[in-house]
Structure 1
């Protein structure tokens, strides 16, 4: 018996610490349930009368570990904030655009948005070429209200675009070959009222304006442009039967407050400054000094453990003690810092034009709307406010108004071009810059 006990103890000590804690907790709970029985004692009786306590399913759910999560994230006052730029530039609702980077596969691109591997496998099954994405190619897709893939568009080259539409039992592929003539054109203008209306007068379409804003999003706040600021845009447009079929932004120059800002497209489909340095401002992976245990993962089809209803979990829950400093993961502007019924004390930060992060259920807020924050700045202290049954931090990342998995999302990085790629880019810059003249 002693030999068995020693063997059990040795095996227990060799387990990883999280496993030891979990096993120990389960043992304690099991013993407590076995020993303890609630009873009502009546004086004068020789034995107590045991009272049976019934627990219904809803009460049982609140005892689960997953119950220390937000009870409901779909609160009307928790919508993503928008501004006049978002409202002026028209875009297809729910569409996400992505430029293929080195090492990307279709599965790691789509899976970060919660798209099932089964759907990804169906796409690859009908078109095996999807296994070989190339650097700089463009992907865009839309989702159904249930988070399923509705349509995927793969811009393989300037000439060919493939589209995959959902049908009853999978997806249907169609291919479009463009045969027009590509011509470069420079469009210049001066800001008089808003940038959007000024760019439209210069001859840019809504899609082209959106691309210009995205290219300069890390350098320029377009809401703060002043009358008299100037811009020059180099577009490559395909003409077919006298009409523009599609276009590609090659470079942009914007002069504001006497300073020039540049964004020039490289062969990888991304934009850099004149020296080949990256324009994006890097993000931290976690909103805390150290990484804490994940108590609930990102899940767009999550079954709420308390209500028993389907309620998408649009972020990740970290099991952090109350009072833990919460950090901004990247440079940006605080657009919301308030208390709501669902999210408790929460903060929303806009990073550039495409990225938004949200931090919920905090005990205390340390910022206010309009504050500029840097990566690593303290924005609050963690807690358990709002619809939450235990201390934790709920953290979300949104790209183009769409929630993504914070643990796997491709985050902006400040890397620039090096070696041969940089030499080729600088040669391209020498051709583009003379064309970006300001009137």
Structure 2
């Protein structure tokens, strides 16, 4: 404080007129009180007795209210209490909690008021256009071309398997709601298969239910155990949305790409040609298949002869899809490659002239499956994906070597409280209008680090009136995450990030009633419950033998990707 600026300080006027005083820089930033004022018995300091009484009364009242109304205060203070463990409190145990102060609002239990929670954050939503993948237009164009030239239904690739483990208090309807699958779809499954309706509604704690969701977020296949030896598999039988079922041995249905393609083709078939009877099968070899004209008839729509290895170079003024198709890659295969590299490459931003792509097939003349794809980009370097024959899925070179989950449950490193749960059918308590809450709200103090739960690529980083500062990240396997009400964004669109990287700081921006983080996990663009979805959907054991087999395959693929003799001679 500068001399003469403090209203409560008595300043010696002789000092003010002293030229040496103003040249003494040590005194400039300090208050100066004259000795006469200090020794004057009538001077009682800057605050009156009334001020002190008001301050102490306020402190006493605050402490009384804290003790009387909040039991959680004891827990945060290091004491234990049976009632000090609210159900909505979560500890992100997958990472070390940082040493940081608990926010006062949380410590004093302000966010636990149930009436307040019902009114909280009803405008923390973004419309689907804002959340759409930046590559969405490219996806639609390629799907349309695949449908036209390769006779493949648009949207027939990119399906994702998700699972849920039955927990205490679950019902079949709540499990469908966790995955944001409509109640109408569940009703259709039950109505079409009334003979096994009791089996559908009967749940056992610990059972794992599997759902195949297509690129539009619609259910195609639903698998439910009915005993220790058997399961029911419900599948969509035509494009009208009807479902049939088959009873089979537990875990006998191999959920690889071949089975997915067959299930999608059946779901897209006209109703007149679709099977309607119950089929009993024990392995994937007897899975209902489609007629040949519904499968890919040709490997190369452009008519070009291709070798086992196809090299694509993006020329100036040429789009990625056009360059790939001209080199001999079908639009159906281009579509699969786009889905394969979701969360690794943002094609609308990262691909430019001079970049190359190498595609390796399992058989000669470009037949069979794609077994490896490698991109070499000026922006982003080398990015590759390799086929793991054990489960028919694609991974990067270190995809099976992770010692921890490839997807963390929470995007922070703190003890938190859920202030508003996931609820896709939530109704506004005043207007009565259904306003889905597509994520979970976590009570976090402003400035808390928000970290990436998995490797991915930043799709959006922007500001919205309702969501405040927000970020959307695309991950592999059809997964994406959304973060709202941030105070600071530390990433930019098109940037590739690693699991655990700091992407933002939590805040209170936009239409928000208090500091918190709104967090969403989406499967193929449809929001699911972040607290319930099984984030590790591998359906086989990753043992040392499997890792060694995959590593050997990767080394072989890497060598073959650069063997010029595998390229067809022009």
Q: TM-score, normalised by structure 1?
A: 0.63
Aligned-pair CA distance for 1:325: 2.8
Q: Which residue of 2 aligns with 1:419?
A: 544
Gaps of 5+ in 1: 1-8, 30-60, 132-136, 238-243
Q: Which residue of 2 aligns with 1:266?
A: 389
Deviations 1:136-187 (A, max 9, x none): x993445579xxx95779987858945569x9xxx97787435769999736
Q: Which residue of 1 aligns with 2:225?
A: none
Contact persistence 1:254–1:260 (CA under 8 A) = yes
Superposed, 1:29-48 pairs within 5 Å as none
Q: Which residue of 2 aligns with 1:231?
A: 358
- More strand per residue: 1
Select the residue among 209, 218, 222 that pairs with 2:334.
209
Aligned-pair CA distance for 1:250: 3.4
Aligned-pair CA distance for 1:352: 5.1
Q: Distance in 2 between matches of 1:293 and 1:323?
A: 16
Select the residue among 188, 212, 217 that pairs with 1:139.
212
Q: Which residue of 1 aligns with 2:518?
A: 394
Q: Distance in 1 between matches of 2:354 and 2:428?
A: 51
Q: 1:304 to 1:234 in 2, by over 3 A?
A: farther
Q: Distance in 2 between matches of 1:231 and 1:20?
A: 49
Contact persistence 1:283–1:413 (CA under 8 A) = no
Aligned-pair CA distance for 1:260: 7.9
Contact persistence 2:508–2:515 (CA under 8 A) = yes
Contact persistence 1:318–1:392 (CA under 8 A) = yes
Q: Does 1:119 align with 2:241?
A: no
Q: 1:218 to 1:317 in 2, by over 3 A?
A: closer
Q: Does 1:89 align with 2:142?
A: yes
Gaps of 5+ in 2: 1-70, 72-79, 90-105, 145-153, 167-171, 204-209, 220-235, 245-252, 279-286, 300-306
Instruction: Name the larger-Rg structure.
Output: 2
| Larger deviation, residues 360-369 vs 429-438 | 429-438
Q: TM-score, normalised by structure 2?
A: 0.51
Q: Distance in 2 between matches of 1:143 and 1:173?
A: 26
Q: 1:308 to 1:333 in 2, by over 3 A?
A: same
Q: Please report the RMSD computed on the Cα atoms of aligned residues, expressed in angstroms.
A: 5.4
SS at match of 1:314: coil
| Larger deviation, residues 108-117 vs 317-326 | 108-117
Contact persistence 2:344–2:496 (CA under 8 A) = no
Q: Which residue of 2 aligns with 1:188?
A: 310
Contact persistence 1:211–1:249 (CA under 8 A) = no
Q: Distance in 2 between matches of 1:152 and 1:411?
A: 26
Give the paired residue count. Answer: 374
Q: 1:217 to 1:235 in 2, by over 3 A?
A: farther
Deviations 1:45-74 (A, max 9, x none): xxxxxxxxxxxxxxxx9x532222232524
Deviations 1:193-252 (A, max 9, x none): 333222222333333212223334566554335426241231679xxxxxx9xx753333
Select the residue among 6, 14, 33 that pairs with 2:82.
14
Contact persistence 2:461–2:469 (CA under 8 A) = yes
Deviations 1:342-390 (A, max 9, x none): 1122222334584432211223444444555443333333333222233
